[in-house]
Every structure is written in C-alpha cells, then in structure tokens.
Structure 1
C-alpha cells in the first residue's frame, strides 16, 4: 500500500510538470492540463515503467509534431476543424480514457488481455493524432473514406497517403517500443511477439474507424455566408446550418468511440489467440 501511495504521488508530481509545460507552450488548455495530471497519476499508480513510458512517448511525439507545424505555419484548416490545436480536457480524456480503464482492470485482475488493451489504446491514439496532424500537411486534398471524392483539408472522414503513412508509423512507434520493453522482461517469446503485432494492427484499425465515424456520424455544418463545409457551429460569427451527421456527435465522441473499439478489438484478438494456443494439438 505504501509503494502504491508513492507511485500515485510520483505520477501527480510528474503530471503537474508535464501539464504546466504543455499549458505554457499552448499544447493544452487549463482543463487539458488537469486531465493530464489525472492521467499521469492513474497510469503511474496502477501501471509499470513501460506503461508510463508509452504515455510520455505519445505526448512527447504529439508535442513535437505541434511545434513542427507551428514553425511551418500550417493553419490552413483552422476554419474547418471543430477545435484548434490546443487540446482541452475532453480531447485528452476521449483519446486516453478507454486505454487507462483497461490498465486499471489489468492491475486488479493481472489478466494480460487488459494490458494489451492499454497498449493498443495508446497505439490507436498515437496513430490517429499523427494521421490527422501530419496528414493536414499534404499538398493534395484528402479523399473521403466513404465516397473517395476530394474533400476539404482538415475535414473529418478524409484520408490521404501522407496521413495514412503517419498513422502507420505512429502505431508502429508504440508497438515497437512495447516490444523492446517487454523483450527484456521475463515474458514468453510468444507474448512478446503479440506485444508488437496486436497493438500495431489495433492502432491502424483505430485510425480507420475514427475516419469512418467522422465521415458518417460526426456533425458537419455549412456556412451561411461563404458556403464552406465545416465542423464549427459558427463561421464568420454567424450560426451555421447542420447538413449531416448526429448533432451531438462531436469529434471528441468520435475519438472516444474509436478508442473504445480499438481496446475491445485488442481484447478479442488476445482472447482468441491465447485460447487457440491452449487447445490440444496447437
């Protein structure tokens, strides 16, 4: 119990440092910084050093992309996307809550299935963040994942070659790092291999589901002044008209549902793969 209290305290202190830095550099709003403090406390308290390192890697890589885009003045989609680059608390929790919930379940059950859920959830969040943040730099307009027609850059539901490659490498970063961490721990070779394959596949899956939900269910609006398709309820300081999607389905909900499905898929894959291995003759 004493060790657990110290781990929570360490996570709280570290979360405050990360949250303060992110707030000062405009990576996070106040609510976003508070959400990071909560996440850091929970992950450090219930997790181990590899799980904590993955979360830091996710935030560090996302921050590097932000600063790179800032130097490039990549703001061409600012009038389309629902929220700006500075993430608030809902955005942080939507991407991470399912994964962290799986980590807490692993702590209490010691079932490896839930550890895979955490890693896969972080892989999915990284893939989605890299895909959307880097994909927006593409010189070509993205294509709708549904109709394969060109849509405005930054609009949810669009895919591009650059964004897809970024999603792949984002998921690869988390899965490869996980494989490196558990390669040196007393874990079976079979399980170590799964730590690379399952998060990689689930991360890519999560990014695709995010685009699919963004294209079909996320609310989109049309500006009454310029006629532009946007995710914002106001454009040119005027109310926009909703043209499709569900009125309550914001990008935060899209991220949350895609993250949930990513974690659930990892649970299913591990359940099927480990039970198949236990069958006689396999």
Structure 2
C-alpha cells in the first residue's frame, strides 16, 4: 500500500534513540524527509548515515527550551522545504517515591512531556494553516497515562495530560484539516528499559503481566506512526492507539 508519504516534511522529536529512532527510519523508508530532533548530535549523525543520508536531517534541540522548540517548525520548512507532520516523541520518565520526590522533578517532566508538545504543536499548526494543506500530529504518550504507575507519578500525570491535549487539539483543529492522534506504547525493548531487559528475573516478572508474553521491539511502532502520518488517515483524529500486547485490555 502506498501511504503517500513521498516528499512529505516530518519532524520527529526524541529521535536520537528508542522509539523516535525507529519512527524516523520508518518514515524515511516511506519516502518522507525527516528532521530528526534530539539532544545527542553524535547519535543523530549515526541515525542519518548510509541509506538515510539526505532523507534524515539531524537537529539538536533542548526540549526544555521553549524558544528552541518553537523554532523547529520554521527550521523544518527551511531544511525540508515544507512541514506536513510532527511526531512528538521526546520525553523523560524519572522514577521516584512520590512522598520523597522533589517537585522540581514534576516541573521538568511536565515541561518536556507536555509543554514541549504544546509549543511545537502550536508552531506546527500555524505552519499547516499557512500552507493551506492541513497536517498531522502524532503524540507518543504511554499506557502509564491511562493506568498510572507506582513510582512514576510525574510521568503518568504528564502522559495523561498529553492524551487530553491530543483530544482537545483534535477537536479544535479538525476544521483546518489537521489531524491529531496519539500512540500509547506499553513495554518496548528500548534503552530506557535496560534495567528490565538486562535482568532475567525482572524481565520474566514483567513479561508475565503482558498477555502477548513478550516486550515489543522498537520497530513495531513504525507502521502505525507511518499510517497516522499519511494522507490516508485524513478522517482519523482524536484517537489514542494502544500498542501493549493486550496489557491494558485485561484491566
């Protein structure tokens, strides 16, 4: 199936590793031009090597700096020629006992996981409307924003907020042909889960909670990211797609 992503301009944040890395490559494989945003210039340069040279364009950005985040839409237009899609993937997940947690942790988590989505989405929305061809925003949230997780209060709260922001923007921008959706991953085998995957006992305990009896590989997020980025998904908006091997379904 042709997803009609050839030549589309896409921003992917948090692209220097994990799900963002996989999403950037999946989109490039479909012919999109990707502005790959992250904190590690070295990792982004590795991402853009080989067959991805010329289709993936590295861009260093601190997602805590609102001015830098807001500038990404203009940078994308300058470097890619146009902006059609934003994948808001960047995020942090600090673990802490809430009774002992410094509220500065909550502030930073909300800044990166919610405010950066709002700032970039606003800048992108203005660009989409100015271009007159609509656009797509895909927010990578988490099943933690649906269920809540012990020791991840700040993260769970931020992802719940991102889910509601997704729905609100979808309702507000549908008339502009801007679709806003979210993907809520469950347990994916990424660098962020090294503590789990690197310990056989912990991994076995984690996998027992998943009906599919395994963790997902990062590349498994790519097909859905590409579909929601595609013109074929023009009537899909305000949806939250869970990819978790059935974990939330059994609750």
Give TM-score, length-normalised by structure 2: 0.32
> Which of the pair is proportionally richer in strand?
2
Give TM-score, length-normalised by structure 1: 0.30
